[in-house]
Amino acid sequence: MAVLVEDRAARLGGRNTLVAALRGAFAPRRVVYALVLLILVAQVAVPAAILLYTSLKDARPTDADYFSLEFTLENFQKAFASGRLLQVTLTTVWFALGSTLVALVLGTYLAWVVARTNAPFRQLVGLLTIVQMAVPGILIPVAWTFLASPEIGMINVAWRNLTGGDGTLFNVYSMAGLILVNGLTMVPMVYLFVVTVFSSMNSSLEEAAEVAGARKWQAVRDISLPLAAPGIAAVAIMALMRAWESFEIPWILGLKEKIFTYASEIYLRTSTPPSDVGLISTYAVFMLAGAVIMIWWYDRFNKTGERYAVISGKNFASARMDLGRWRVPVAIITFLVLVPVILLPLLTLLWLSLNPYFRQPGWDALTSISFEAYVAAVQTPNMVQGFLNSLLVGVLAAVGVLTLSTLAAWFSARRLAGGRLLYLLTSVPMALPNVIVGISFLWIFLIVPLPIYATHWALVIAYITLIIAVVGRLINARMLQISSELEEAAQVAGASFLRAIWTIVVPLLSPALLAGGLITMVMSFRELQTTLYLAGPHTRTAAVVMFDMAGDGQFSHMAAFGIITFAILLVGLVGYNRLNARMGIEGGI
């Protein structure tokens, strides 16, 4: 440290001014960088290091010989031993690519309609798209079971009644079914990412193309989409990683036809307690390698980041594309897209919640519906506690995630020294399985002599690690669109580094920050696997209460609880949309 200070002093014109040198060494920017780095190392590098280290050990973190210098490749041998790993990996590749494609196409289309066109009811479209996030994750495959099961699915039963045949229109248990359902669940995330990107695009660029003779669709293809490329690339990577580690949908829907993905294979191979952390870590090493490759590719893609900056010191307008005679067809197509994304699953859950067990819609069933499941759901022990805990943890996690993501994105987007390290640290968690995060933090919180275990803080810290990769990509993509000349102008005018970020960058980041906060809140409500390792009797979240219900009983109760959760989160989503509208961000009502 002394050497660094003296070196700096020497470079300050050769005079050994200690105060000036210290002032430079502890410049706000460096202090902030050091703090962010320290926090991210603790949040991310420690669980990742545990993962890598444990994959080479034949001991658990709490064993006496865990820190011995004996390493082994036995876990890797076990991973390959069954011979299924290659087959499962190929299945997962198809599953992940297919889901990502479905989500990208539908999510980008919806974002374009809402942010860039004058389609009717676009505010409602925006709300309905993101409202799917409020449906508890485990209920989506349940709803689709009763929608598209070959034997009892309502769609197939209706098809058979219509055609008089005994065929199946759509089999939800097939690979196509898994891909479609998983892709549909990722549409809101893609939409949120891409709509913030589309919202900030300068329409004068498209107008210039049209003046030069290009048609509207050509302007979209040659101007809008390329400019949105970094954002779309970021969300494609996130969607791919989330599809890769997706568990509920492949497990619940894939079991019947024995379609196993990476996540369900890990579950099968490691279901013997205590958890085989060595084997789980080994599987995760492969995921980490995949994530690093994708991060490297994305980084190369963004090498010339400044050319994607569309928010600059010059004034810009974001006029909508006039669809003309295509307004009504686009509205119809958009509605048809929303049917499988949200309307069908939600209506199915509503139907489930009003019946004691699943029955085909019909007059008899309609005349005997009841609200008993709602009464039972409301009487669920600890329901209010669960919601309040999720709300508290979600808000605190959102503050942490947004602060760390913003600062890391700024250092990275401005290509400052150490920025890429921060970028890497906020990306790595996308490859960390929730089980590893849960077990790592369980161990850390019990070993470290601080009263964190089983408190809200334990969940906040773990959730930041789980969520920062998703939100970090969103904020990074938006940050790339903001030209550095804006905060440079502020600093030239005398503003400090932090003031420039707070008054210039943060307001321009608002759409991404709001979307990131929303994603954090929703994921906090839905997160289960890590929570089961860390929640105590007083910190049970809504997801844990839901998990209890799943073990207890009838789907009607679960569906009712899910509808109640949905209604509560819907209030938050409407608030988010109104806030967007007031801030002039597309997608508001």
Partner 1 sequence: MRTARKLRVAAPLAAVALALTACGGGGGEERQAAALPENLAVASTVDMTDAEYAEYMKGLEEASKKEGGVIKYYFSAPAASAEKMINLFIEKYPWVKLEYTSGGTLELIERIITENAAGRASADVIQGGPLEDNTLCRDEQLCLKYDPRGERDLPADRAYAGCGCSVGDFFTFHILYNRNKVPQAEAPKTLEDLTDPKWKGRFGINVDQLDWFAGVLAQLGEDKGLDLMKRIAANEPVTYTGTDGLEKLAAGEFDVALPQSATRQVRDMIDDGAPIEIVTTPVTIAQPDMYFPMKNAPHPATTRLYMEWLMSDDWQNKVAEAVVKIPIRPGATIPESAEGILKSELFFETTDNFGDYDTRVRQHQSIFITG
Enumerate residues 364-383 that contact partner 1 by CB under 8 A. 380-382
Q: Is 574 in the site for partner 1 (CB under 8 A)?
A: no
For partner 1, which stretch binds (CB under 8 A), given 2-10, 20-28, 198-206, 537-545?
Answer: 537-545
> Site for partner 1 (CB under 8 A): which residue of 128, 209, 249, 452?
452
Interacting residues of 375 by C-beta distance below 8 A, sequence separation 6+: none
> Site for partner 1 (CB under 8 A): which residue of 392, 421, 495, 568?
392
For partner 1, which stretch binds (CB under 8 A), given 164-172, 179-187, 551-559, 562-570?
Answer: 551-559
Q: How far is the CB of 185 from partner 1 (least distance, A)?
A: 18
Interacting residues of 542 by C-beta distance below 8 A, sequence separation 6+: 386, 387, 389, 390, 525, 565
> Site for partner 1 (CB under 8 A): which residue of 28, 329, 553, 575?
553
> Site for partner 1 (CB under 8 A): which residue of 331, 535, 563, 569?
535
Q: Is 28 in the site for partner 1 (CB under 8 A)?
A: no
Q: Is 308 in the site for partner 1 (CB under 8 A)?
A: no
Q: Is 460 in the site for partner 1 (CB under 8 A)?
A: yes
**Residue tagged 């962010």 (tokens):** 36
DSSP 8-state secondary structure symbol assigned to residue 371? S
Q: Is 583 in the site for partner 1 (CB under 8 A)?
A: yes
Q: How far is the CB of 157 from partner 1 (least distance, A)?
A: 10
* 125 touches 119 (CB < 8 A): yes
> Site for partner 1 (CB under 8 A): which residue of 416, 446, 492, 571?
446
415: left (phi over 0), alpha (psi -120 to 50) or beta: left
Separation of alpha carbons 329 and 323, rounded Å: 10
Q: Is 455 in the site for partner 1 (CB under 8 A)?
A: yes
How many residues make contact with partner 1 (CB under 8 A)? 74
Binding track, positions 58-97, relative to partner 1; x by CB under 8 A: ---xx---------------------x-------------
CB atoms within 10 A of CB 5: 17
Residues 507-526 that bind partner 1 (CB under 8 A): 507, 510
Q: 213 in helix, strand or coil?
A: coil
Q: Is 536 in the site for partner 1 (CB under 8 A)?
A: yes
Residue 390: name the closest of 440, 456, 469 by CA.
Answer: 456
For partner 1, which stretch binds (CB under 8 A), given 20-28, 34-42, 266-274, 422-430?
Answer: 266-274
Contacts 24+ apart (CB under 8 A), 300-305: 301/229, 301/230, 301/233, 302/230, 302/233, 302/480, 305/230, 305/413, 305/415, 305/480
Q: Is 456 in the site for partner 1 (CB under 8 A)?
A: yes
The angle subtended at Cα 476 by Cα 470 and Cα 481, nearest 5°, is 140
Separation of alpha carbons 163 and 195, rounded Å: 41
Q: Is 15 in the site for partner 1 (CB under 8 A)?
A: no
* 105 touches 97 (CB < 8 A): no
Residue 295: name the closest of 334, 238, 247, 341 by CA.
Answer: 238
Helix-strand-coil split of the chain, %, nearest 5: 75, 0, 25
Separation of alpha carbons 366 and 46, rounded Å: 55
Separation of alpha carbons 440 and 442, rounded Å: 5
Binding track, positions 464-503, relative to partner 1; x by CB under 8 A: --------------------------------------x-
Handedness of CA 491, 495, 498, 499 (dihedral sign): negative
> Site for partner 1 (CB under 8 A): which residue of 22, 90, 447, 571?
447
Q: Is 56 in the site for partner 1 (CB under 8 A)?
A: no
Q: Is 255 in the site for partner 1 (CB under 8 A)?
A: yes
CB atoms within 10 A of CB 260: 20
Q: Is 538 in the site for partner 1 (CB under 8 A)?
A: yes
Q: Is 405 in the site for partner 1 (CB under 8 A)?
A: no
Q: Is 505 in the site for partner 1 (CB under 8 A)?
A: no
Q: How far is the CB of 395 from partner 1 (least distance, A)?
A: 5
Separation of alpha carbons 42 and 49, rounded Å: 10
Q: How far is the CB of 101 from partner 1 (least distance, A)?
A: 28
